[in-house]
Every structure is written in structure tokens, then in C-alpha cells.
Amino acid sequence: MSKYSILRKQNFSSGCYAIVPIRMEDRFAIMQWRNEQIYHLRQNAALTIEEQDIYFNTVVAALFDQEQPSQILFSFLENEKCIGYGGLVHINWTERLAEISFIMETALEEKHFEQHWMTFLGLIEDVAFSEIGFRRIFTYAYDIRPRLYIALESCGFKRETVLPDHIKIDNETFDVVIHSKTVDYTLLRNANMADVSLTFQWASDPEVRKFSFSQSKIELLEHQNWFARRINDPSCEYYILFDGQNEIGSIRFDIEDSGSAMISYLIDPAHHGKGYGRMILEQGVQRLKARRNEVKSVYGLVQPANIASIRIFDTMGFVQTSVDASLLRFEKNLQS
């Protein structure tokens, strides 16, 4: 199976349903569904087998290795069988937003339209918000399928705007309706290569450096290489805390053979003193427990002068021991 380099996680599932990076084997079923449903797609003519092969072998194949692909497409599976496809398209990496695209097997639309749309929306939200850290996702739909709005609004999407008489189908004009959903809470997402410059900026800040174990200056190329290794290391869980507007800090767990994981976290100096240190540690440990049940304990190493971190570890029930006069160890058992 092909993998997206931008994604740490490739399979997103809920019960018997899952989305996986779009599969070459599904291309002709997708072609058939698109041709059958051309009335609501931005597609001018029926696709041919030759055109579909060319598209998958050139456009789709190139997406997997791109650091900032223009679209991220998935096969939508029920019990491993492809029954639809869709993803995030027209991605704006600067604004961190994307349009949602989805179609299902045509025969399923009559009885299962809302069910499959709602399932897919839940899965693609996980990709967009928790995995990549987009701030806004939206749909752009011709106003000819009111059942779509039921599914969207049931999943918390809000009708953002209506573009009157925006498209013409068979000499008849129709509105376009845009629904959207934005992040309005603080959460963790997986770190990815799009974060390399920001994390370099944080790590280089004098306020952060004074509590780092290494006081030497960090070079950008050195950081880029280190960062790429960490996010691709299966023994590392690396997350970014963001609030829908700003990235606030990062937390990393380096998992050891003993079953312990060492914690490293930092908060953007612009957000110091706002309670984000405890928030990122609480959310990070909770997410680690959910994703890596082999981890038995977590610990952090702290300089005695780092009063803010000491206070956070203390209030969260970590047990303090001394490594030496210049280093404290705070550990918490995750199995109890």
C-alpha cells in the first residue's frame, strides 16, 4: 500500500469502516462512480480507462512523496472493500485549510447516503485536525442534494454561505452551498515536516535554550535532519499543540526498550505563563496511553532552575528523584 509522507498515521478507522491512502486497485470503480454521478461533480465529460490510468500513474502517484500535496486522497472501505473515495482537496498550506471531497458507490446512495457521509466526515476530520493540524475544512456543493446538508449539519458543520446562481446544469442555474468546520479548541496533532521551521524557531529562542541540555547554537540544516528523523522514528511520538489559530508548543515522547518514555516539551515563549505547559503534558500523556499501550511509565529530566516545569510535574503527581546536583527526574507510572 502506498503511504503519504505527510502523514504519520495512514489508516483511520471506525468499526468496520476505514480510510486508507487511495489504492490503485480501486481506480476503475472510482471512474465508474464519477461517470455515474457527473451531475454533481466539477467534471465536464465522462472519464475513460486510459485517462484514469494516466491520472493515477502521474497525478495521484506524485502525491505520496510530496511534503505539501495539493490533495490527499483515500479509498473508503467497509470490511476492506472499497465503497467510496474522497479526501482533502484544494489544500491551502499557508492558511491550513482544505475542501472535502467524497463520493460513494452509486448503488448505496438511496439507502445509505447520510450514514456513509457522516462516517467519512468523522474519519476525514481526524486526518485534517488531529493528524495534519488544519484550521478549517469545508464543502462546496451544488444545491441539488439536500440530504448532504443533513449529514454535514449533523456532524457540526455550519452553513457558511450560499453563492446564488453560481453554476449551470443543462441550461438551469443552481446555487452553490458552502459548509465549514473550524477548530475552536486547543488540541494535539501529529508533528509533520511542515512544522520544521517553526520548531527550529522555538528551539533557537534564548528563553527556551537556557533550559536545554545542550547550550550550543542550533543550525537550521542540523535541525531539519534531526526533525525528519524524529517524526519518522517508530519509537517516537511527536505532537504539536495548537488552538485553531496558533501553534503553541510541542511535546515528544522517546520510547525506550524498557517500556519507559522520556518526555521533552516546550512552549512558544509568546505563550509562556498561560497554563499551556500543564495542558500539553496532560494531553500528551493521555494520547500516548491511548496509542502506545506498551509504554509503562513516562519521565522528564529537569534542571533545578526550571521552576515552571518542576511545578507542573509536581501538580500532576510525578514522583521526583535526583539524578545529580544539576538534574531532577520526574516519573509517572501509567499502569496504575
Q: Are 153 and 47 members of one domain?
A: yes
> Which residues are CB-neighbours of 284 under 8 A, at least 6 positions away?
188, 239, 251, 253, 263, 265
**pLDDT exceeds 90 at position 238:** yes
CA dist 321 and 332 (Å) reads 11
Q: Which grid cell is 214?
A: 545542550
The residue out of 182, 201, 222 marking a domain boundary is 182
Residue 220 CB contacts under 8 Å (≥ 6 apart), including other chains:
200
Provide the pLDDT for residue 53. Answer: 97
pLDDT at 325 over 80: no
Q: Report the distance separating Cα 19 and Cα 77, nearest Å.
A: 6
User: What pLDDT, on a 0 to 100 scale, did the predictor assign at position 322?
Assistant: 82
Mean pLDDT over all residues of the chain? 91
* Same domain membership, residue 168 and residue 283: no
What's the confidence (pLDDT) of residue 28? 97
Cell triple for 194? 511542515
Cell of 144: 441539488
* Cell numbers standing for residue 98: 482544505
Which of 165, 182, 199 is the C-terminal boundary of a domain?
A: 182
Lowest mean pLDDT among 143-157, 201-215, 257-271: 201-215
pLDDT at 214 over 70: no
In a domain, 235, yes or no: yes
Indicate the SS3 state at residue 36.
helix
pLDDT tens for 52-91 read 999 999 999 999 999 899 999 999 999 999 999 999 999 9
Q: Band the pLDDT of 215: cuts 50, 70, 90.
A: low
pLDDT digits (tens, 9 = 90+) for 166-191: 877 777 888 899 999 998 777 889 99
Residue 295 belongs to domain with CATH number: 3.40.630.30
> How many domains does the chain contain in total?
2
pLDDT at 221 over 80: yes
pLDDT at 213: 65
Burial class from Cβ neighbours inside 10 Å (0-12, 13-18, 19+) for residue 79 reads exposed
pLDDT, average across residues 246-273: 93
Q: Are 153 and 212 in contact (CB under 8 A)?
A: no
Residue 87 has phi, psi (to 5 degrees) of: 165, -155
Closest CA to 82 of 7, 151, 31, 149: 31
Asked which of 154, 182, 210 is the last residue of a domain, the reply is 182
Q: What SS3 class is residue 41?
A: coil
Domain interval for residue 305: 187-333
Question: Is pLDDT above 90 for 165?
Answer: no
